[in-house]
Amino acid sequence: MQVGGIRVDAVSDGTFVVHPKYFGEDVGPSAFFGRAGFAWLPIGCFLVRTGERTILVDAGLGPDQDELAQGMRLVGGQLFVGLGALGVAAGDITDVVVTHFHTDHVGWLFDLAAEPVFPNAMIWYGAADWDYFVNGPGDIRAHIRDGFLAHADRQHPLTHDTAVAAGVSVVLTPGHTPGHLCLEVASGNEALLLVGDAITCPIQLAEPSWHSYGDVDAAAAQRSRDRLWERMRSTPGVGAHFPGLAAGRVSSGIEWVTG
């Protein structure tokens, strides 16, 4: 994706296998859930290159897997295959912007010794996620927590909307997690929203009662989704689990249009 003078590449770290109950106890089988009644969604990351900065948005699950309820699972480990295909090495990343601290977004931040995987990068995130996951009850891998604690000097915890680089701005969108954030990439007359997990999948536009069972605050998450749907009437957007990691926008009514 080209946004004015800024290049944005989608890279999948693996697969998220989703059961209907992920979206709510009353959600049943539908065409969205294909073979064997599951949807297969990507674990998406995005590489944003401004010319001066090389920014990774989210850090996938890492070389790991996670078994969830109802037969759901996350399988990661592919991020560096995609980065390598783009000619980008770990040392080239100047910044990592983490939309939130769920396991499938922080997995490549630190290795098992709690050392940074991206040695030259600053890490940006919503400060409320630190409070909830690192110091609070949120589920987080021990080596990721230890990495956050050991390398605090390499981090930018955010309490308000801010610019990460020229043309790349953070917008706080709490609900899915307390510190969840989105990014707006803008250059010239073009813009793109990277919405993380604030919206799990475009099908939620047509099915507004479908929420994520990972939402920490479901009401706040719904408010953030509604705000983003309205923004995406004029600005295209893409989330970490959108099929094909394809950007789209809201057309008339509840129609989602890509391309």
Strands 190-194 and 54-57: unpaired
Neighbour tally for 225: CB within 10 Å: 23
> What residues form DSSP beta bridges with 250?
256
Return d(Cα 242, Cα 57) in angstroms, integer: 15
Residues whose CB is less than 8 angstroms from the CB of residue 18 and which lie 6 or more positions away in sequence, other chains included: 33, 38, 39, 40, 41, 72, 241
pLDDT classification of 253: cutoffs 50, 70, 90: confident
Tens of pLDDT along 2-22?
999 999 999 999 999 999 999
Q: Are 123 and 155 in contact (CB under 8 A)?
A: yes
pLDDT classification of 236: cutoffs 50, 70, 90: very high
Determine the average pLDDT of the residues in 51-59. 97
Determine whether domain 2-258 maps to CATH 2.40.128.30. Answer: no
Residue 157 token pair: 């915890």
What percent of the chain is modeled with pLDDT above 90? 97
CA neighbor of 14 nearest in space, from 46, 62, 85: 62
Tens of pLDDT along 191-225?
999 999 999 999 999 999 999 999 999 999 999 99
